[in-house]
Structure 1
């Protein structure tokens, strides 16, 4: 597939459980193209977070192969995975993951500091990103002074700091009310459309599916064939 950014081939992930094994993922295969927003849905325990952690290089598959922007994530050395997460993949988590003592601007600037960008460049980039997510007037506020939706917008801006090719969002609206959740999903849709970013978003909220280009359904660690429905997911 031309323009493929994420390629998952026959991926399985097993975890020991007492005397047995839990098959968290079983033979998962799919691709995601450049500039595509794909939602991954499924009930709790279906394997959504496991899949996103594998694609993001936070874990390694038991079987199969994962390629992100041409990199074999499962076989990469730890130093290469660290660089991949710093430069190519941006993460957005359900819990926001902001540093409480830092302002919105300082939180967004953390990846730029780690990349050793010059101070003037950092400040300009942070200002642009906070405007992008609608928080240009909130640069000095700390997380505890912001609503949940505002905190998640800061998290989106931080994920975009190093202009990643791939955004991985694990239940990014899980702690938000439905209206705020839709606004965050709309923001992700706008980012994908404007910047050509590839996004993979795990969600259990069926009301957010129409923002995605495609929806992948996981059931008991396996992808459900297209056309099948997962009741209640």
Structure 2
């Protein structure tokens, strides 16, 4: 389902999935996640509900242990809630099988992690091209799209360099380009500036905001850095797994 499909979905829904409202890309309804049992149980996320819309950058804020990563993992299909429902671009993530979740993660959702996650032996261009190879995009189209994406993140002149030849900020820009390769509806970034200095971190957030607004995507960005919050369109605040603001 494309971003246009999300915008155009009307009332009624399909297959038990509530119909998206105009522009709605993410709907989280009453989601909870607990790890462990009894006295040692950790209630990572407690009855959280929110929506996110096309062209919106939503920051998820909270201290370490507040539940940010767990929440983002459930939205992206990397984890399943114990209760509640997650719908992304019309897909019911919570009831999806493994094959459907794989397709979701390869096409509908793009991920950016704190640790960059680049393949050390591959060049910047080859790293960005990995999702396109998995999607069996023809070589000529793949090379063209990779070049455009690296230009977009300001690294057009660094296509042949490997991660160890790039700064931390440049590596994260490559990771952003890779996450955008298959034109996802939703970009999930978990502490994307956590390993960067404040100036470089702000430049990455500026880049994410520019890409989201220019491409009409949606982004959920987890951060505990107050200096970056003002770059978001909206802020969700988690405290002890509960949504207390947003």
- TM-score scaled by structure 2? 0.90
* Alignment map for 1:92-111 (pairs within 5 Å): 92-111=112-131
Equivalent position of 2:190 in the other structure: 170
Cα contact 2:235–2:245 (8 A) shared by 1: no
Residue deviations 1:68-107, cap 9 Å, x none?
0011101000000000111100000000000000000000
Equivalent position of 1:231 in the other structure: none
Equivalent position of 2:8 in the other structure: none
Distance across 1 between alignment mates of 2:38 and 2:174 = 40
Equivalent position of 2:50 in the other structure: 30
CA separation of 1:157 and 1:225: change in aligned 2, threshold 3 A:
closer
Moved over 2 A (4+): 17-20
Residue deviations 1:147-198, cap 9 Å, x none?
0000000000000000001000000000000000000000000001110010
1:225 paired with 2:225, answer no
- TM-score scaled by structure 1? 0.95
1:17 Cα deviation after fit: 5.0
Cα RMSD over matched residues? 0.9
Q: Work out which of the residue numbers 85, 90, 94 in structure 1 matches 2:110.
A: 90
CA separation of 1:177 and 1:87: change in aligned 2, threshold 3 A:
same
Residue deviations 1:122-153, cap 9 Å, x none?
10000000000000000000000000000000
Unaligned runs of 5+ in 1: 227-233
CA separation of 1:8 and 1:111: change in aligned 2, threshold 3 A:
same
1:3 Cα deviation after fit: 1.3
Distance across 1 between alignment mates of 2:89 and 2:203 = 28
Cα contact 2:107–2:182 (8 A) shared by 1: yes
* Alignment map for 1:138-217 (pairs within 5 Å): 138-217=158-237
Distance across 2 between alignment mates of 1:20 and 1:207 = 34
Equivalent position of 2:14 in the other structure: none
How many residues align structurally?
226
* Alignment map for 1:73-88 (pairs within 5 Å): 73-88=93-108
Cα contact 2:87–2:93 (8 A) shared by 1: yes
Residue deviations 1:20-71, cap 9 Å, x none?
4211110000000111000000000000000000000000000000000011
